[in-house]
Structure 1
Amino acid sequence: MHVPPVYRRWVTCPEPRPKASLRLFCFHFAGGDASVFRLWAKQLPASIEVCPIELPGRATRRNETPITRFPELLDKLASMMLPFARQMPFALFGHSFGGVTAFELARWMRRNKAPLPVHLFLSASPAMHLRKGPPPPLSHLSDKEFLKEVAARFGTPLEVLYSEDFRLGVLPALRTDALVGESYQYTPEPPLDVPISSFGAFEDKEVNKEEAESWRQQTTGRFQLRMFPGSHLFLSTERPRIYKALLEDLAPQFQ
């Protein structure tokens, strides 16, 4: 894939695959960055070109001003992705709030008559229509209280959160994403005509099985729920099983 310089800041492509027949856009969890999906580009089949999204204010874009309002982020992200979405069939994968972003991006594309994804993968993401509102805000808390709340909600060990590497490398992006999440508001719309696969984890404190399964109500197409071992951040520990599920659910695109 030829990537114009401006798009290297939003749509990354660790391993270009000119002969791929499907592009998989990947959206990281809060506090993460595109490197979360680095191994996916090497380990998924050559028929899939993996394109992790890199948002401003983190990793390779650390010196750029972050976007802290969800509506602004969605509009900017959609405009940057559209040239790639028009080139070939594509699917969206998002973990945690990255799943909410992927879902809202698909609805943005429908509202704006842009190409729709052939499949939507929502991992450790709560079906937002079930929730009466966002969780209690975090962004106003001190670093110590902020990290305690993150540990309670997502099961991340406090020794990891309190480490210097985390404080310097992840905490600023995590605080930015907390602001983004607090500015998000779900608005009812008709279900998407896009197949949805929802991935959950048995020990996830943040997203229970009912919330993972209720994404069924957001599609008129096929729906598949898969539950994995582990807690909220099962994305790394269950990677082989996730690959298998992705390929099974995308099989109709390669027939």
Structure 2
Amino acid sequence: MVQRRAIVNRWFQPDEVPADAAVRLFLLPYAGGNAGMFRDWLPLFPADIAAQAVQPPGRLDRRDEPLVTDLGPMTEALGEAIAAELDGRPFALFGHSMGGLLAYRVAVLLAAEYGTPPILVASAGWTPEGFSMPTLEQVQLPQPELVSWIVGLGSLPPVIYQDPELLELTIPPTRADLTACARYVDDGAPVPCPVISYTGRDDPLLTADAPESWNGRSPEYLGNSAFPGGHFFIYAAALPIVTDLTRHLRRLAALTSIPGH
């Protein structure tokens, strides 16, 4: 049991959460990202929201593990890790870009295979329809062209792609994740809980009406909040997103304690 928990907890930072928090929240990074992208987010959540950032395999402290280039195995592995981590408290999933897609698929899997749906899926910068998924041709671009394309999506801190050492760490998982996205085939599966979305007003990957596609996937779509910036708008919007998420999580968690909900 100790060994299994140690393996499972490689997925989450921090690896443990306070026992008195009312709600658990798992934060999923964008393609090529890691748990570090949420370092500044974690202190913003109040004490009753226990947030953990997801660390995908093949990067940073999990560099000894192989990268995953297919969303199916990634969904199953993360779903298993979250299911093993749950302790009866209500929980939610938040993801940006590929993280939003993964949050959606993990929510579907947790409900179908474990009978434990989240109380909320929050998706930033990704929608089921109206989102321009990468192509395999883009994924295979030479490194300078790939970097130029990513930076052109807007609002990404330039330091990430200007440091050669950071590039060496970032490009392999980015290609792997983008490959998984390019191979993804949408099956229209409904998500078994309310959904809320967040977008950048100048995101070149989303059409203007893309967020409305959640209406056909969720029993309760809670709407979209648009922020200034491109695809990586979340770096500047952390506080308002955390504030909005906290409000919805508290309301939905309270509903779960009411008989019949």
One-letter amino acid of the counterpart of residue 28, structure 2: F
Q: Percent identity?
A: 24
User: Can you list the C-alpha shifts for 1:182-224, whole angstroms capped at 9, x where unaligned?
Assistant: 22111123x3341111101111111233112322221112422
- Does the alignment pair 1:219 with 2:218? yes
- 1:1-255 alignment to 2 at 5 Å? 4-13=5-14, 16-128=17-129, 130=130, 134-137=133-136, 138-154=138-154, 156=156, 161-189=161-189, 191-255=190-254
> 2: CA distance between counterparts of 1:194 and 1:207?
23
TM-score using structure 1 length: 0.88
> 2: CA distance between counterparts of 1:224 and 1:79?
29
> 2: CA distance between counterparts of 1:67 and 1:164?
23
Q: 1:114 to 1:162 in 2, by over 3 A?
A: same
> 1: CA distance between counterparts of 2:81 and 2:159?
37
> 2: CA distance between counterparts of 1:59 and 1:221?
37
> 2: CA distance between counterparts of 1:158 and 1:90?
33
Contact in 2 for aligned 1:32/1:174 (Cα 8 Å): yes
Which stretch has the larger CA shift, 171-180 or 144-153?
Answer: 144-153
Offset, 1:45? 0.6
One-letter amino acid of the counterpart of residue 47, structure 1: D
> 1: CA distance between counterparts of 2:110 and 2:75?
11
Contact in 1 for aligned 2:98/2:126 (Cα 8 Å): yes
Offset, 1:119? 0.7
Secondary structure at the aligned position of 1:235 is classed as: helix
Secondary structure at the aligned position of 1:227 is classed as: strand
> 2: CA distance between counterparts of 1:194 and 1:253?
10
Secondary structure at the aligned position of 2:193 is classed as: coil
Contact in 2 for aligned 1:14/1:41 (Cα 8 Å): no
One-letter amino acid of the counterpart of residue 5, structure 1: A
Unaligned runs of 5+ residues in structure 2 are 255-261
Which stretch has the larger CA shift, 233-242 or 11-20?
Answer: 11-20
User: Can you list the C-alpha shifts for 1:79-137, whole angstroms capped at 9, x where unaligned?
Assistant: 11112235321000000110000001111123224200001100011324x46x84322
Contact in 2 for aligned 1:10/1:53 (Cα 8 Å): yes
Q: 1:148 to 1:53 in 2, by over 3 A?
A: same
Tell me the C-alpha RMSD between the 2 structures.
Answer: 2.3
Q: 1:118 to 1:160 in 2, by over 3 A?
A: closer
Secondary structure at the aligned position of 2:172 is classed as: helix
Secondary structure at the aligned position of 1:112 is classed as: helix
TM-score using structure 2 length: 0.87
Structure with more contact order per residue of length (Cα contacts < 8 Å, sep ≥ 6): 2
> 2: CA distance between counterparts of 1:242 and 1:158?
22
Contact in 2 for aligned 1:197/1:225 (Cα 8 Å): yes
Which stretch has the larger CA shift, 114-123 or 75-84?
Answer: 75-84
Contact in 1 for aligned 2:83/2:114 (Cα 8 Å): no
Offset, 1:13? 2.1
Number of aligned pairs?
Answer: 251
